[in-house]
Structure 1
Amino acid sequence: MAPTRRWRAAAAAPVAALSLILAACGGGSDSADESGSKATGIFADAPVAESLPEGSTMAEIKERGELVVAAALDAPLLSQQNPTDPDEVEGFDITLAKLLATYIIGEPKVKIVPPASQTREAMLQNETVDVVFNTYTITEERAQQIQFAGPYFLSGLAIAVPKGNPEGIDSIDDLAGKQVIVGANTPAVDYVKEEVPDAELVTFDTDPQAIQALAQGRGVAYVQDYLLLATDAATNDDIELATGALTAEPYGIGLPPNDPDFKTFVNEWLTKIQEEGQWAQAFEDSIGEVTGQDAPDAPEIGSVPGS
C-alpha cells in the first residue's frame, strides 16, 4: 500500500530536530537504556554490519553515534509519538529506521527530524538528514533529485468519506465534479486530476488538517494512502473508508543523491532483515496488530522505476 515519504509529518519545514535515543518497537519490544545496555526484543538479534568502509557515509554515521531520520511523529502504525512520553515513537517506519541504525551503529539510536512532504528532497540534498522513512512513494521524477533504496513496502491510494458516506461514493468516478481533499505534494494530486479532471482539489499540508476538513464537510472525500486512511478511520469516528486500495504504490527509503555506495549498503541491509525475519516482525508488531494481517511478502528490491 503506498504514497509519499511524507506528508503526515509536521507542516512547518524542518523544525528543530527531536533528538531521540530510541530502541522501542511497536508490539512491546524492549529498548536499550541510556547507559547503552544491550537492546532486546526485535533489536537483540538484528544484523549488524561487520565492517564499514573508511570515509563512507556509513562510517560517518557510526562515528556520530546516531542515524538522523526524517520521519513523522503523527502517523499511527508507521511513526507516532506517544503524547505522554515524547521520547517514545513507535510504528513500522520508525522500527525499520532503528533497525538500520542498529546495522550501522550496533544500537537502535536515531534522531528524528519531522519533515513536510515538500521538504524531503531538500533535506536529503542539503544533508539535514541521513535517510527518509516517511511513506515516501518512489517516482522517477523524485529519483532524479535523490536516491531511493527499496521498495520496502507497497501501498495504494484509497478514498475516505464522512461517516455514513452521505454522497454514496464507492469509486473514483463518483468524485467527478466534486470537491476532493488531497495532501499537498502527494500522489493523490495527479491521480485525481487524471481520473476525474473536473474534480475540484482542496489541498492541505498535513494529514490531521485533511481529516479535520473531511469531518467538517469541506470536501466530499479524501484521497490518500490506504494504510494511512485505515488508521485514521480507526481513530476517528467521523470518517470511514469508502474503497480499498485503488492503486499500487511503492514506499522507498529516501537517501541523499550521488552516494551509490550508501544505496547499495541500505539495500543489502533491507535484504538481510527480510531474510532474517525482522521486516516481518516489524510489520506484525505495528500494522498487523491493528489489521490482524500476517506480514505480506516483501516487495522485490529495485523492482520499480526509480528504485
Structure 2
Amino acid sequence: MAILNRRTLITASGTLSLAAVLAACADTGADGQALSEATTVGSDYDSAITSGPVAPQEVVAASAWASAVKRAGVLRVGGVKTSQVFSLEDPATGRVTGFDAALSQVLARYILGGDDPHALTELTVVTSDTRETLLENGSVDAVFATYTITPERAQKIAFAGPYYSSGQAVLVRAGNTEITGVDTLAGHTVAVQSGSSSGPALDVAAPEARQVQFEAHTDCVAALEAGQVEAYVVDHSLLLSTVLGHDGLVIVGEPFTQDPYGIGLPKGSDAQAFVNTFLEAIEADGTWDAIWRATIGAVLGQDQVPTPPVIGSVPGSETA
C-alpha cells in the first residue's frame, strides 16, 4: 500500500528545492479560498515559459479563434488559483504559476509574442460546475484546470490534447487505518466535487461508498479535515498539491483510473486544431519537458520526464 504525506514528499524532493517552488503557510487569495502564502518563481520556470515558440503571423491569422485572442491582446483563461502544483497565485505579486498555468502562459505567448508571458493571460476562477458554462457563454477562451477529457463533456465543448495523464486517488486523515485504498471505501463517506469525473469513477470502483458532493476542491479538503467525511477522491495530481500544505492528510493506495487532461475550448470553433498544433510544437521542441521539470518534477524531486499522452488518443479528444 502506498501512503504519501507532506513529509514523504518533502523528503523526496529535498527541502531546498521544494522551498524554491512554493511555501506552505495558509493565506486567502483573490477568490476567497485558502492558498499558499508565497510562491517563489524560480529561474527554471521563467525560462520554461519564455523559451517556447511564437507562431508565425500567418498561422495566427489562419485561425479565427487565435485571431480573436490576438485582437484582444490577452488570453482569457479559466483556471484555479489554489493548486500548488498546477495553478497557484502568489498573493504578493498576483502571478500564477504551476504546470497548467505555465501551459496557458506559453500558449498566450505563442499567439501574442512578448517578453512577459505572465502579463498575457487573464484568469477567471472556475469550478467543476462552471467550466463548460464559461466556455459556452464566451467568458473565457480556454480552460486549463486539470480538466479530464470525457465524451460527455465533449458534447458541450472541444478538447485539445490530452497533454497530461493522471488518475483518481484517495485522500484520508492521517491515522485512518480503515481506509487503505479505493477497495476499502464501501460504507464510508467520501467527498467528491460536484460535476467532476470523481463521482462516476467511484460509482464503478466503489459503488457502496457514500458520496457527499461539494462545489470546490477546497471545500472537499475542509470537510475531510473537519471530519464531515472520511475520505476525498479526486485526481492524484491535485492530491499531491494538497498533502504538501496539510500535515494531517495522506494519500492511500494507488490511482485507480486513467484520467487524461485536456484544454477546454469553445465547441464549433477552430480552436482545437490550433491548440493541438501548439501542443505538438512544445512537445517537439522540449518546452513541455522544461515546464514539467520546473513544476511537477521540482515538487517530486524527479528529473525523468514522462512521455506526454498522444494528442487525440482518448474518447472526447478526437479532432473535428
Q: TM-score range by the shorter chain?
A: 0.7 to 0.9
The amino acid that maps onto 1:145 is K
* C-alpha distance in structure 1 between counterparts of 2:174 and 2:274, whole Å: 45
Task: Report which stretch shifted further, 282-291 or 44-53.
Answer: 44-53
* C-alpha distance in structure 1 between counterparts of 2:236 and 2:267, whole Å: 29
How do 1:1-307 residues align onto structure 2 when only pairs under 5 Å count?
26-29=41-44, 41-50=47-56, 51=58, 52-53=60-61, 56-85=64-93, 87-107=94-114, 108=117, 109-167=120-178, 169-259=179-269, 261-293=270-302, 294-307=304-317
The amino acid that maps onto 1:46 is G
* C-alpha distance in structure 1 between counterparts of 2:225 and 2:272, whole Å: 41
- What is the SS of the residue equivalent to 2:42? coil
Q: 1:58 to 1:144 in 2, by over 3 A?
A: same
- What is the SS of the residue equivalent to 1:133? strand
Structure holding more helix per residue: 2
User: RMSD of the TM alignment (CA)?
Assistant: 1.8
- What is the SS of the residue equivalent to 1:289? helix
- What is the SS of the residue equivalent to 2:129? helix
Offset, 1:195: 2.4
Q: Is the 8 A contact 1:183 1:204 kept in 2?
A: yes
The amino acid that maps onto 1:240 is V
Q: Is the 8 A contact 1:27 1:286 kept in 2?
A: no
* C-alpha distance in structure 1 between counterparts of 2:203 and 2:238, whole Å: 21
Q: Is the 8 A contact 2:79 2:145 kept in 1?
A: yes
Offset, 1:216: 1.8
> Over residues 117-175 of structure 1, what are the superposed CA-to-partner deviations in whole Å (9 max), with x where a residue is unaligned?
111111111111100000110000110100000000000000011012232x2231211
> Over residues 242-292 of structure 1, what are the superposed CA-to-partner deviations in whole Å (9 max), with x where a residue is unaligned?
122111110000000101x22111000000000111111111111111112
- What is the SS of the residue equivalent to 1:127? coil
The amino acid that maps onto 1:103 is Y
Offset, 1:83: 2.6
Q: Is the 8 A contact 2:135 2:142 kept in 1?
A: yes
TM-score by length of 2: 0.81
User: Runs of 5+ in structure 2 lacking a partner?
Assistant: 1-30, 32-38
* C-alpha distance in structure 2 between counterparts of 1:137 and 1:25, whole Å: 28
- What is the SS of the residue equivalent to 2:211? strand
Q: Is the 8 A contact 2:141 2:265 kept in 1?
A: yes
> Over residues 178-236 of structure 1, what are the superposed CA-to-partner deviations in whole Å (9 max), with x where a residue is unaligned?
11111111111111122222221111111121111112222221111111112211210
Q: Is the 8 A contact 1:25 1:282 kept in 2?
A: no
The amino acid that maps onto 1:84 is A
* C-alpha distance in structure 1 between counterparts of 2:52 and 2:264, whole Å: 22
Offset, 1:25: 9.7
Task: Work out the percentage of aligned pairs sharing the same amino acid.
Answer: 38
TM-score by length of 1: 0.85
User: Runs of 5+ in structure 1 lacking a partner?
Assistant: 1-14, 16-23, 32-40
